[in-house]
Amino acid sequence: MRFLILSLLLFVSTFIYAGGPWLQPHKKGYVQTQFTLPIGYYNRIFLEDGSDLQLNNNVLDVHWQNYTEYGLLKKTNLLLDIPFKYVEANNYYFSKHLLGFSNVAIGIKQQLTNKNWLSSISFTWNFNTISKKLAYGLSTGYNDNLFLLNYSIGRGWAKTYFYTEIIGVKALKRYSDSWKINIELGKKIRNKHWLAITINSLQSFKNKSFNDNRLKQTALYPNNQEYLAYGVKFIYSLKDDKKGLTFATYGALAGNYVAHLATLNAGYFWKF
């Protein structure tokens, strides 16, 4: 099986328990902290023509994300995402590392319908809060400001849930605009255990000419990254259902400038 690091996945609603059209109740909240830990360094990436590219660097990419949803009004949630990233690149000539914020994001999520099928829309602004050492191909996020529009529809049953999201991404300066689809199906396998499968696709409109070969040699936020991927998620709720643990892994079906590597995603969530 071939695996990849889904850097883009982490910035566009990747959280194992959050997501979908569901909102937090008024004056209630949900917080999740999540780590993406690679099993080591990578030096090969997928290209859009189906081939692989051997990099000039060995690259390490570690991500720590902190996400909050809060019920600002009865049908309106406030969204906040504070991500951090540690990246490292080394070869025969140098060994460099970088630690800093990725793209901090704030947004609003508004409920549209609340019947058998629920739907919502969210508007999110991703700020250019990154650190970078471009001479070595190191970046902790997108060197741009991004606006995301997300439409989500889904439904929950006693032991099953399903939702899909359609996301448009508008980059204000350097990067091409893009669109994304997330599909998730989850099932309760025991009293407090949920298992879910996902399909995720990100496609670039390729409407900007920004091209930095140094970022391509690390696969750390070059322009026109794309992927088609699947994932497996596990959720374990603790006794009061207000806290829990989450785990996930993702596999690649296709991609462009995304890395070959197995990753372990582990998180902890609580509701207040």
Distance CA 38, CA 215 (A): 19
| 238 alpha-carbon distance from chain centroid | 25
pLDDT of residue 87: 98
User: In terms of C-beta distances under 8 Å and separation of at least 24 residues, what long-range contacts does 90-99 make, across chains too?
Assistant: 90/57, 90/58, 91/56, 91/57, 91/58, 94/136, 96/133, 96/136, 96/138, 97/60, 97/138, 98/131, 98/132, 98/133, 98/138, 98/139, 98/140, 99/131, 99/140
Residues of the chain with pLDDT under 50: 1-17
pLDDT of residue 173: 95
Biggest CA–CA distance in the chain, Å, is: 60
The answer to whether the CB of 77 falls within 8 A of the CB of 44 is no
Nearest to 4 by CA among 37, 46, 65, 51: 46
Q: What is the DSSP string of 200-249?
A: EEEEE--------HHHHTTTSS-TT-EEEEEEEEEEEE-TTSSEEEEEEE
pLDDT of residue 8: 37
**In what helix (H) or strand (E) does residue 7 lie, and over which residues does it extend?**
helix 7-11
pLDDT of residue 40: 83
At 15, which CATH number?
Answer: 2.40.160.40
DSSP 8-state class, residue 185: E
The model's pLDDT over 205-215, given as tens digits with 9 standing for 90+, comes to 999 999 999 99
Total tally of structural domains belonging to the chain: 1
CA-based Rg of the chain, rounded to a whole angstrom?
Answer: 18
For 8, the domain range is 4-271
